[in-house]
Structure 1
Amino acid sequence: MNNIKKYFLPVLILYLALMCLYVSYLFIIDDYNIMKSIYQPYKTFIQLSPFNNWNIFITILKGIFGVAGFIKYMINRKLINYFNTLFLVMTVFEIVFQLCNQIVQFKNLSIYVDLVSTIFTAILFLVIGFYYFKNAKIKEVIPQILLGISLTVISYHLH
């Protein structure tokens, strides 16, 4: 289990952060298609706030924070750092917002695709969060958690 936290978890966070940046790029150049997302794993993990919440800011921020967290990990060999915590917190709260949107607006069968991907993403980040925060000291990550919640809420209101 130590090897998972030491080697696999930082690479997984980097991969997910790069996918955030890639999906943001696709969205900016108008190549993003939410209906194709079930067939493309890099799009199912981040549904850019479906329905009327086309929100690109949070995905760009998550990508930048995840890459910065990996770079900080490579320099200091400290997995629990400011940027990785922001990446995880923002993603978790985005999942919470998306699940609320899915439950409130679940009136159309095509929305089921987004609900399934959101649930799979929630499960993925529960596992990642468990291994990430397992040995974290809560007092050290409270500022990042509050900043991550604030950035997520602000980002959702910017669309």
Structure 2
Amino acid sequence: MYIFSIHDLFILSQEFSQEPVIPVYSARPDMVKKALKYVHSTSLNKLDGKELEFLIAILPDNNGSLYGDLKKICETDLGLISQCCLTKYVFKINRHYLSNVALKINVKMGGRNTVLLDALSCRIPLVSDIPTIIFGADVSHPEAGEDVCPSLAAPPKTGQK
């Protein structure tokens, strides 16, 4: 495991291109499948046959089934990790919102957002000595004023072999 300072992260970020692999591409919601396949194939050409790993999609505020369609196509057809953002939040450039999106992207790309220091140094009694599964739960709530969608709870897990 690596722990980086802000300065380390800044130095590491200099290795990445500031430009996206392909220019921003927009399409009508009914053309989402065609648009995603275009983005995927264009990126294959630009990356010399390497697969695109990650896609950020900025969706209209009232997007109907677009979110679900996009996620399904990205995950099942293209094997592509995606992060969707709503237009009304993206263009406000709210630091808190962007931080939350960055945390989501980090986890989706295989990173960790939190680490229990005692667990790293094996100082938790019993948990450090025997195989253990720790369960927790995360609750996602709908937007304020949204009466149709319920809150959803998901119990993720982590374990050591």
Q: Which has the higher contact order (CA 8 A, sep 6+)?
A: 1
Which is helix-richer, 1 or 2? 1
The structure with the larger Rg is 2
Q: Which structure has more strand as a fraction of its residues?
A: 2
TM-score surpassing 0.5?
no
Structure-1-length-normalised TM-score = 0.29
